[in-house]
Structure 1
Amino acid sequence: MPLIKIDIVEGRSDAQVKTLLDAAHRALVDSFEVPERDRFQIVNEHPASRMVIEDTGLDIPRTRNVVVVSVTSRPRTEASKVKFYQRLCRELQEKCGIDPSDVMVSIVINSDADWSFGHGRAQFLTGEL
C-alpha cells in the first residue's frame, strides 16, 4: 500500500513497462517512506484514441509517451506528495525517457478501514499491519 494504477498508450514492450514500474516504485519508496516490498501496481494500456490528456490551459505539451499515475493511499503530507511528483518525473525521465510534461499524477486518500490485503480481513484495523 499505496496502490498505483498507471495508464499508458499501448505499444511499450514488457521490458519498458517493467522499467516504468520500477521507476514509479523507487519514487514511492523514497517519497512516502514505504517498505520495499510494499508494492501494488496495475498497468492499463489503451489505444492512443482512448487517452485524451489535455493540459487545463497550462500549455503543457503531451505526446504518445503520456503516463497517468493514480495513487490510492493512506494520508500523506503535502511535502511527501510534492516530493513524489518531482521524484517520479525525474525517475521516468532518467530511466524511461519520458518527459515530465507527459506525466500526470492524481492521489486519492483513504483510511485504514478502506484496505483489505486478503483473507477478508482489514489488516490495518486488526493490527496485522
Structure 2
Amino acid sequence: MPLVRISLMQTTAHRAQEIGRCVYDAMRETIGIPEGDNFQVINHCGVGELVYDPTFLGIERTNEFMIIEITLGRGRETAVKQALFARITELLEARCQVRPDDVMIGLNEVGLDDMSLGQGRAQFVENPPARLLSLSDNGSS
C-alpha cells in the first residue's frame, strides 16, 4: 500500500528508475511490503524547484539532494522506521552513488480507511490483509 513520491534534480530515466527500485527494495526488506506493491511518482525538478538548505543540522547537501516521501499504513515501531531510513540510504549509496547526506525521507502514516487502490473503494477496509490487521490490533490502523 505504500505510495512513494521522489523529488530530485533532473536525471536520466534509467537512474530515476534505479533510485525508485532502491526505495522499493528497502521497503520489501524492512517493512515487509508484498511483491508488486510498488506505486511511485518520480518528480524531476529544474533549477529553483527543489528548495533545501545545504547545511541545515550540519548535513552537507549537494545538488544531488532528493526528497523521498512515503505514505504508508500507520503502526510501525520507531526501530522499524529507522531501519527503513538506513536501508534506503544504504541501497542508494551502493547502487546509485547517492551520498547519504543528500537523502531526506519523510513518512506519512495513514489509517486503513485513508487509501483507495482503485475503483473508488477502500480495499483495506473491505478486506484487510492479515499483516495490517495485526497492526490495527495493537491500537494502530
Scaled by the length of structure 1, the TM-score of the pair is: 0.93
Aligned to 2:35: 36
Query: Deviation of residue 97 (structure 1)?
Result: 0.5
Q: How many residues align?
A: 128
Counterpart Cα distance in 1 of 2:123 and 2:2: 14
In the superposition, relative to structure 1, how do residues 27 and 94 fare at CA in structure 2: closer, same or farther (>3 Å)? same
Give, as a single letter, the amino acid of the residue that structure 2 aligns with 1:27. Answer: A
Give, as a single letter, the amino acid of the residue that structure 2 aligns with 1:92. Answer: L
Counterpart Cα distance in 2 of 1:49 and 1:117: 33
1:7 aligns with 2:18: no
8 Å Cα contact 1:48-1:64 kept in structure 2: no
Counterpart Cα distance in 1 of 2:54 and 2:13: 28
Q: Trace 1:3-82 onto structure 2 (pairs within 5 A).
A: 3-10=3-10, 12-54=11-53, 57-75=56-74, 76-82=76-82
Listed as ranges, the gaps of 5+ residues in structure 2 are 130-141
Give, as a single letter, the amino acid of the residue that structure 2 aligns with 1:18. Answer: Q
Counterpart Cα distance in 2 of 1:79 and 1:112: 22
The alignment-based identity, stated in percent, is 28
Counterpart Cα distance in 1 of 2:126 and 2:54: 43
Scaled by the length of structure 2, the TM-score of the pair is: 0.86
Aligned to 1:99: 99
Query: Deviation of residue 107 (structure 1)?
Result: 0.4
In the superposition, relative to structure 1, how do residues 57 and 46 fare at CA in structure 2: closer, same or farther (>3 Å)? closer
8 Å Cα contact 2:31-2:84 kept in structure 1: yes
Instruction: Specify the SS of the correspondent of 1:113.
Output: helix
8 Å Cα contact 2:55-2:61 kept in structure 1: no
Give, as a single letter, the amino acid of the residue that structure 2 aligns with 1:4. Answer: V
Query: Deviation of residue 57 (structure 1)?
Result: 3.6
Query: Deviation of residue 79 (structure 1)?
Result: 1.2
Give, as a single letter, the amino acid of the residue that structure 2 aligns with 1:44. Answer: N
In the superposition, relative to structure 1, how do residues 128 and 106 fare at CA in structure 2: closer, same or farther (>3 Å)? closer
Counterpart Cα distance in 2 of 1:112 and 1:56: 37
Instruction: Specify the SS of the correspondent of 1:73.
Output: strand
Instruction: Specify the SS of the correspondent of 1:58.
Output: helix
8 Å Cα contact 1:69-1:106 kept in structure 2: yes
Query: Deviation of residue 55 (structure 1)?
Result: 5.9
